[in-house]
Every structure is written in C-alpha cells, then in structure tokens.
Amino acid sequence: MTDERELDDGLAAFDQLGREMAETNRLLRAVRSDQATRNQQEHTLSAEMQTALKQATGASQKALQASQTEIRSNLLWTGLTSLLIALTGCGAGYYLGHQSGWEQGQAEGYQKARNQEAAASWANTPAGQRAYGLDRRGSLDLLSLCQGNGWTTERQKGGTVCFPNADAKGNVTGWYLP
C-alpha cells in the first residue's frame, strides 16, 4: 500500500507540475504575443513619425526657399533704390554746389598756397632746420611730448613744463640733436 500511495502522490505531484508548466507556457505565449504586438505598434509609429518628419522637412525647405527668394528680391530692390537715391543726391549736389564750389575753391586754394609759402619760409630758418633735424632722428615727438626716459611734466603758471629727472644711478637721458 505504501508503494501505491507513493505512486499516487508522485502522479499527483507530476500532474501538478504538468499543470504549472502548461500555465507557464500559456503565460509565455501571452507575453510573446504582447511583445509582438508592441513591436508592431512601435514599427508602425516609427514609420508614421518618419513620414511626418519627411513632410515637415519638405515643408520647411519650401518655406526656406520661398523666404530666401523674397529676401533676394527685397535686397535687390533696396540696393537699386539706394543707388537711385545716391545718384540723385550726387546729381543735385553737383548741380546746386557747382557754382559756389568754384568760388570757394579758388579762395581756399589761395589760402592754402599762402599757408604753404609761410611754412616753406619757416622751414628755411635756423629753428625750422633744427626741428627738421630732430624729426629725422625721431626725437621731435619725444621732445614735444616730454616722453624721454626720466622726463616728467608739471603744470606751472597755466602751462606745462618738462623737467629731466635723474634715474637711480644719477643718469639723465635726453634726445638726439641734429
């Protein structure tokens, strides 16, 4: 009897194991089916998104081309209008200022000639020749701006005075003289 009972218990356990395996297989099939459905939905959604993306890209490219064409057209008209305004202004300025320009030009030319004559006269003086020599040696700006090493400026009696100062070794620097 014990063998029979053990056999019955073993069969019952085997039967229980079979039912559990059948339930596990059913659940696995359901999971696989759900997974296949999700994969199909994702594939469909991905294809729809790609189609929508292609349509959006095409529409944006068309809009970009249209705006570039409009910008080119606007720039062309703006440039032509600016050119027309500039030509009109030049023509009007030439027409209106022609006569007074001649008169003023003659007066300014005469004044410049007098100024150049005066400058040439000063350049031939000893002071003008010394200034020219300082300029050729690169010292005229240093002298006129008091910018040599060890030189300082002070305000005195409404004017600026340039003074030499000795460095730590007692040396005083200056400018090249002509």
- Domain layout of the chain by residue ranges: 11-124, 137-168
Determine which helix (DSSP H) or strand (DSSP E) holds 120, and give its type and residue range.
helix 2-123
The answer, yes or no, to whether residue 177 has pLDDT greater than 60, is: no
Residue 47 to residue 40: CA distance in whole angstroms: 11
Cβ atoms 165, 150 nearer than 8 A: yes
Residue 128 to residue 119: CA distance in whole angstroms: 9
The DSSP call for residue 170 is S
The answer, yes or no, to whether residue 121 has pLDDT greater than 70, is: yes
Residue 65 to residue 34: CA distance in whole angstroms: 46
Residue 124 to residue 132: CA distance in whole angstroms: 10
Name the burial class of residue 102, with classes exposed (0-12), middle (13-18) and buried (19+) by CB atoms within 10 angstroms of its CB.
exposed
φ, ψ at 160 (rounded to 5°): -105, 130
pLDDT in tens, 65-120: 888 888 888 888 888 888 888 888 877 777 776 666 666 666 777 677 777 777 77
pLDDT in tens, 1-49: 667 787 787 788 888 888 889 899 999 999 898 898 998 988 888 888 8
pLDDT for the residue numbered 26: 92
Cβ atoms 64, 56 nearer than 8 A: no
φ, ψ at 151 (rounded to 5°): -105, 140
pLDDT for the residue numbered 102: 63
CA angle in degrees (0–180, nearest 5) for 126-127-128: 90
φ, ψ at 169 (rounded to 5°): -90, 0
Residue 175 to residue 117: CA distance in whole angstroms: 30
Q: Is the pTM of this model over 0.85?
A: no
Higher per-residue pLDDT: 156 or 176: 156
The answer, yes or no, to whether residue 140 has pLDDT greater than 60, is: yes
